[in-house]
Amino acid sequence: MFELNLSDWQILLVKLGLVLAIVPAITLVAGYAEHKVMAHLQHRLGPMYPGGFHGWATLLADGLKFIYKEDIIPAAADRKVFSLAPLAIFVPTVLTVLVLPLDETLVVEELDLGLFYLLAVSSISTIGMLMAGWSSSNKYALIGALRAAAQLIAYELPIVLSAAVAAMLAGTLSLNGIVEAQEWPFVLWPPGIGLIAFLVFFGAGVAELTRPPFDMPVAESEIITGAFTEYSGMRFIFSTFFPEVANMVIISGVATTLFLGGYQPIVPLGFLDAVPGLVWFTLKTAFMVFMLLWIRPTFPRLREDQLQKFAWKFLIPTSLVLILAAGAWVLYAPEGLK
Amino acid sequence: MRDYYAQYVTIGIFAIVAAVLVVGTLQLSRLLRPSHPTAEKLTTYESGIDPIGAGWAQTSVRYYVYALLFVIFDVEAVFLFPWATVFESLGTQAFVEMVIFVGILALALLYAIKKRLLEWL
């Protein structure tokens, strides 16, 4: 490795530059992938010619359209809260990226409390949803915001509890520590506990993203776009499109970090150690993103009460049992098995 | 591992830069986008008909119950995480205490279910 003597401020500037360049770029790629993967899954290809490969230039046209779109704030809306809401959603989304370990040393800030920080910061956007829905002074927006808040908090619990299982098995809250503590075959060990915790985490993650089959907060056939009905132009981008797609990638990255061995090679073969950890992390995250995209056109939307029932009566009790099971495993499993 | 405060200062700077990015982009696109507000454009959107009544309508109290239940379990999570990192060295006693703690919470959830608070009436 080469030696670079940079001051703290220079390092900070480099980090800022990289994050601000890479996060929007990945969001664009993932948003484009979402369109095209779903298009192919449904045999409805959509625009295929602009720009060449799978019509990628339509994405740029979409972006330009949003920039040139008139910015409308309804006369009845609470203007201050209305314009603050995108900030309350966008900023936490950016902040969650900072602690994800892409490789052994490739992380913006390696916090001791990484997992705790991640869960804490990611739950702030619920407030943004409520702000958007309430300040719009629109019935659809209000219903959407309440649905969103109820859903986000109900499914935050299984996420937090199953993430706690990962922390218990690793014995640390540092995300790098959790990755290091995992050994092949990652999610399958300890038997049952790891896999169920992963499934609970991922299922609740789909709900946390308000993606189908859990998309009642933005159900277009019932309540238009939910909390964001009155948003247009760039405000709409910052409050829904960007956080939705970025969070899809982030939650896949978190699932990879907590359960799938993060930046470790998929199989423990010596020669695979030569491949940089970033490649493994990207591959695993891309696979999880693909699963999310696959789920979306496959399952129909649930009803609001079914959604709440699924969280409170199934996922939360399951994850409580998992915590006790994981605790028993760590304390009482025979030494040879661990 | 770098200095504890330096790490959180970095995160604070990132928060500020992200906020500036949103505000800046909105200001920049102001130079490009049209702005011709009319009274019709600024009415609340209600699928094309004139809005009836105020936007801040009454809604189901049910959501409030979920919020209360959430608080119970989220407080549990705050206790759970520090415990999760040290219980291995504390051994059986810490584990039994957590079993009791989780048991009490499970009772609360069971109570809510028995009270039919989670049914959508």
ipTM value of the model?
0.82
A313 vs B contacts (CB less than 8 Å): 113, 118
- Given a cut of 60, is residue B1 above it in pLDDT? no
Contact by Cβ (8 Å): A315, A203:
yes
Q: What digits encode the pLDDT tens for the residues B29-71?
A: 888 888 888 887 887 777 777 777 776 767 777 778 788 888 8
d(CA A16, CA B13): 9
Give the contacts of A302 (CB within 8 A, at least 6 positions apart): A213, A214, A216, A310
A119 vs B contacts (CB less than 8 Å): 77
Q: Which residue of chain A has the CA closest to B88?
A: A331
User: Do the chains contact at A149 and B67, CB–CB below 8 Å?
Assistant: yes
Give the contacts of A325 (CB within 8 A, at least 6 positions apart): A192, A193
Q: Which residue has the tokens 């799938």?
A: A260
User: Do the chains contact at B66 and A116, CB–CB below 8 Å?
Assistant: no
Question: What is the radius of gyration, based on Cα positions, of chain A?
Answer: 21
Q: Which residue has the tokens 């019709």?
A: B40
d(CA A240, CA A237): 6
Cα atoms in the Cβ-side hemisphere of radius 13 Å centred on A138 = 32
pTM: 0.86
Does the CB of B65 have a partner CB in chain A at under 8 Å?
Answer: no
Burial annotation A283-305 (CB, 10 A radius, 16+ → b, else e)? ebbbebbeebbebbeeeeebebe
Residue A40 distance to chain B (closest CA, Å): 32
How many residues are given for chain A? 338
Query: Can you state the angle between helices A8-41 and A57-68, rounded to 10 degrees?
Result: 110
User: Do the chains contact at B33 and A69, CB–CB below 8 Å?
Assistant: yes
- Point out the residue among A86, A164, A233 whose CB comes nearest to the CB of B22: A86
CA nearest A92: which of A216, A212, A246?
A246
Q: Measured between alpha carbons, how far apart are the two ends of chain A, in Å?
A: 35
Q: Residue B82 has which token pair?
A: 């520090």
A161 vs B contacts (CB less than 8 Å): 77, 80
- Point out the residue among A95, A305, A328 whose CB comes nearest to the CB of B15: A95
The neighbour count for residue A193, using CB atoms within 10 Å, is 23
Q: Residue A50 has which token pair?
A: 């602009």
Residue B63 distance to chain A (closest CA, Å): 6
Residue A293 distance to chain B (closest CA, Å): 27
User: Do the chains contact at B87 and A331, CB–CB below 8 Å?
Assistant: yes
pLDDT band at B121 (very low <50, low <70, confident <90, very high): low
CB pairs under 8 A between A and B: 194
The predicted structure's pLDDT at residue A4: 56
Interface test with A, best of B7, B13, B46, B86 (most A CBs within 10 A): B7
Please provide residue A307's backbone torsions phi and psi, each rounded to the nearest 5 degrees.
-60, -50
Please provide residue B105's backbone torsions phi and psi, each rounded to the nearest 5 degrees.
-65, -40
Does the CB of B3 have a partner CB in chain A at under 8 Å?
Answer: no
| Alpha carbon B76 to chain centroid, angstroms | 16
Contact by Cβ (8 Å): A143, B62:
no
User: Do the chains contact at A20 and B21, CB–CB below 8 Å?
Assistant: yes
The predicted structure's pLDDT at residue A1: 40
Q: Which residues of chain A have pLDDT under 50?
A: 1-2
Residues 27-56, chain B, touching A (beta carbon < 8 A): 29-30, 32-37, 39, 41-47, 51, 54-56
